[in-house]
Structure formats: structure tokens, C-alpha cells
Amino acid sequence: MASNSSETQKDVKFEDIAQGKIQSPAAYDFRSDTVTTPTPSMLQSILNISVHGDDVFSEDTTTNNLESFIMSLTGKPAACFVMSGTMGNQVSIRSHLTQPPHSIVMDSRCHIFNYEAGGAAILSQAQMIPVKPANGEHLTLEEVQDNVIDSDDIHYAPTRLICLENTINGIIMPLEEIKKISAFAKEKGIKLHLDGARLWNVVAAGGGDLKEIISYFDSVSLCFSKGLGAPMGSIVIGEKDFIGRVRHFRKMVGGATRQIGIATAPARTAVEEVFLGGRLTRTHELAKRLESSWAKLGGKLKFPCHTNMVWLDPASAGVDESDIPTEAKKAGLKWDYERIVVHHQICDDAIEKLEGVLEKLVENGKARGGAQSPEMPRMARYSRRVDQDLA
Ligand SMILES: *Cc1c(COP(=O)(O)O)cnc(C)c1O
């Protein structure tokens, strides 16, 4: 049985994966929940497709079924499958905005601002207004109000859209705050979009009812390929005319595809098996366990651990962050920087090994006499992480 991420996959046979005989190569990988691999039932769902239709003609039954299934799960009247979370956000933004000049208010740490190649500026000609939440966790109504441009003064780009993200860095946005921001946006005639790539985790952790949270937004993008472990894809939900525009822009960016049931069948299985099947709960429990192991070693966190991410503050326990990938590799783990991500394919053995690595990191720090290694040279914001997974 293949059990270690360092083993090559050359001997892996499809039959063995399909029968669940092989552990996922993600079992020892803490870099992101995007590393999850299709489960036997996800692969089987592809083989179970009886009719492969063309989704550009809306004739792919599997895809139509996934969209209806998500509509009933979320309470929104229309849905459109897209290739990725980035595509979901970008076509949503494009579909909400009309005539520039216009601006979007968002959390400065969010995916749309940082990790979508500046897409909103290019595809939607929008000025992005990033706001840093003072409480270190989530944006508040007051911060949104202070930053929205509600004026026809010709110097400004009026705000037509607010984008929230939940979870953001694994942090749950309180439902009360969402409600207040939603009421404010409605009153001002500003659209409200949710990047809900990991909204499944919010619901699994008790941060609100899926339908209720979604009801406060004009549009939501949900991801199948992160914590849920499907091989690819996201879905955008909203009102019918909005989703009509989403389909138009999805076509324009090359995201309308043909027999895409091969992606939408496993996406549905992922929702049923991992989200409805309750598998996210274990990932949150394991994250909590890692948080307390780290606390026992004297370590603090950079962000609270609400769901499946543990953000270490390495310096708080005398740890040099650059030690992380080396010590992780020695233990047979993949883990690259202060962020630990737990997903449904992480095995118990990997958690024990990671706890061993945490101890070793702290020991290394003590052996250096608490001294940090020479200061890393200052670099451009993201250059250090070029080869790392920012997903
Ligand atoms: C990963 C992620 C995305 C983008 O998803 P891709 O499928 O990688 O394009 C968008 N938003 C959030 C919050 C994400 O974590």
C-alpha cells in the first residue's frame, strides 16, 4: 500500500484507486486542500455517466443535474458551473458591473485582490478598494461604510459591488456582520458577492446555515476542488438574469465546455460524500488538535483556528520559518510555511508526524539559543512564495 507522499506514483493502477486500495498521495500533504485527489466514488461517478451531452447546448444531463442540485441546496434560482474559483469570481464581477468608472470594496487579504492576476482591473475595468480589517479577523459594516464611494463627484469611481470572502484564511465571518453589510448594500443599491470557495467549511463548523448565509448575497461562488476534493471546478449561483450574463462571459473567457460531465459528476459526489457526508468535521477537529499541540510548545497563532487551517506564528515559539520545509521533508511530510491546511485525506499518522515536526522545530530554535537565523533580506511581497501554493 502506497502510504508516503515521497513515493512515486508510477506503479499506481486505476483499478487500485477505483477500489480504494491506494491511499491518496495527499495523505501526508499539508500545503493546501487543493492537493486532495479524486476518491474511488468520484472516479466511479464518471464511469456511471450514461449520456454525455454537450454543455454549450445545455444538453449535458450530468451538468444540468449538478446545477439543479446546487440550486436546491443553496436556495438560489440559477447556477452555472465554471472551471475554477478564479473564473467564478471574475465572471461574477464582470456580470454585476456595467459602465465604468466603478469600484469594488473588499478585504485587503482576499483572493480577488491578491491572487487573480489583477483580473478585476482588466476584465471589468474596476478600481479595487482593499480594506484591512482592524480586528485582524473580518471586515465590519463600519469599515465597509467608510470605504464605499457613494457619490457622483466626478473625481471618484462609485462603488457598485462589495466582495466578501468566507472563510478567509480559514476564519469564519460572523453571520451578524454579513447581515448588516447586506442590509447596507441593499439600501445603497450596491451588489454583494461572496467568494465562498470554502463556505462549506463555515457551515460544517457551525458558522451558519448554508441557505441563510447565501440569502444575504446577490451572487456566490462555491468551490468543489478545495476541501471537497473534486478534481476541478466551481459554481456560481444567483438570480436567473445574472446567471444568464455569467454564461455569456463564461463563454467569452473560454470556460464553456462540451462533455463536461466528466468534471460535474465527481463535483456532485464531492458535495455528497465530503460536505453532506460530514467529512469536513474531522478536518476541523484535527486542526484544533494541532493548535493545542502547538500551544503546549508555547506557540501562538497568527489567526484564530475556526476551520481547517492553522496559522502558526513561528517566532512566538522561537521557530525559524525557513526550517519548516526541511524538517517536514525529513518526516515524510509536505508542508512549506507557517500555514498548515488539514483536508479530508490527511491520515492520523500524518498528524502524529506533524506533531513530531513541531517539537523538532522548537528544539532547533532552542539549540540556536533562541536566536533567529540572520534576517531574511527584504523581498518584494510575494517573491518568496513564487513556487508555493497560494491556493
Ligand atoms: C482557491 C481560491 C480561489 C480560486 O480558486 P481556483 O480554482 O484556484 O481558481 C478563489 N477564492 C478563494 C477564497 C480561494 O481560496
pLDDT tens track for 260-317: 999 999 999 999 999 999 999 999 999 999 999 999 999 999 999 999 999 999 999 9
Please give the grid coordinates belonging to residue 227: 476541501
Nearest Cα neighbor of 39 from 266, 291, 222, 224 is 266
CA of 155 to the centre of ligand 1 (A): 33
CA of 253 to the centre of ligand 1 (A): 17
- The residues lining ligand 1, judged by C-beta closer than 6 Å to any ligand atom, are 84-86, 89, 111, 165, 195, 197, 223, 225, 234, 391
SS3 15: helix
* Per-residue pLDDT, 113: 98
* Per-residue pLDDT, 15: 73
102 close to 274: Cβ distance less than 8 angstroms: no
Does residue 62 register a pLDDT over 50? yes
* Per-residue pLDDT, 16: 73
Quickly state the pLDDT bin for 1 (edges 50, 70, 90): very low
Ligand 1 atom nearest residue 85's Cα: 5
* Per-residue pLDDT, 22: 81
Q: Report, in angstroms and rounded to the nearest whole number, the Rg of the chain calculated over CA atoms.
A: 22
- Tens of pLDDT, residues 22-31: 889 999 999 9
| DSSP code, position 53 | -
80's enclosing H/E stretch is strand 78-82
Ligand 1 atom nearest residue 391's Cα: 1
314 close to 320: Cβ distance less than 8 angstroms: yes
pLDDT mean over 219-238: 98
DSSP conformation letters of 196-238: ETTHHHHHHTTS--HHHHHHT-SEEEEESSSTT--SS-EEEEE
CA distance 340 to 291: 10
Please give the grid coordinates belonging to residue 162: 462589495
Higher pLDDT, 13 or 159: 159
Ligand 1: which residue has its CA nearest to atom 4? Answer: 85
- Tens of pLDDT, residues 81-97: 999 999 999 999 999 99
> Half-sphere exposure of residue 232, counting CA atoms within 13 Å on the CB side?
10
Ligand 1: which residue has its CA nearest to atom 14? Answer: 197
Does residue 387 register a pLDDT over 50? no
Ligand 1 atom nearest residue 83's Cα: 7
Note the CATH number of domain 14-30+278-369+380-385.
3.90.1150.10
pLDDT mean over 326-352: 97
CA distance 282 to 308: 9
Torsion of CA 196, 191, 69, 172, to 10 degrees: 30
Torsion of CA 161, 167, 168, 170, to 10 degrees: 180
Please give the grid coordinates belonging to residue 222: 462555491
Nearest Cα neighbor of 200 from 266, 278, 90 is 278
* Per-residue pLDDT, 2: 44
107's enclosing H/E stretch is strand 102-107
Please give the grid coordinates belonging to residue 10: 508510477
The mean predicted confidence, pLDDT, of the chain is: 93
Which are the contacts of 162, defined by CB distance < 8 A and separation ≥ 6? Answer: 104, 105, 106, 144, 148, 181, 185, 190, 191, 192, 193
**Percent of residues, the chain, with pLDDT higher than 90:** 87
* Per-residue pLDDT, 368: 86
User: Taking the domains of the chain in order of start, what are their residue ranges?
Assistant: 14-30+278-369+380-385, 41-276
CB atoms within 10 A of CB 308: 28
CA of 167 to the centre of ligand 1 (A): 11
Ligand 1: which residue has its CA nearest to atom 10? Answer: 85
35 close to 55: Cβ distance less than 8 angstroms: no
Nearest Cα neighbor of 78 from 89, 88, 67 is 67
Architecture of the structural domain at 41-276? 3-Layer(aba) Sandwich (3.40)
* Per-residue pLDDT, 382: 58
Mutate to test the pocket of ligand 1, among 33, 115, 193, 341 (most ligand atoms within 8 A of CB): 115
Quickly state the pLDDT bin for 369 (edges 50, 70, 90): confident
Q: Where are the beta strands (DSSP E) in 145-290?
A: 159-165, 191-196, 219-223, 234-238
* Per-residue pLDDT, 21: 77
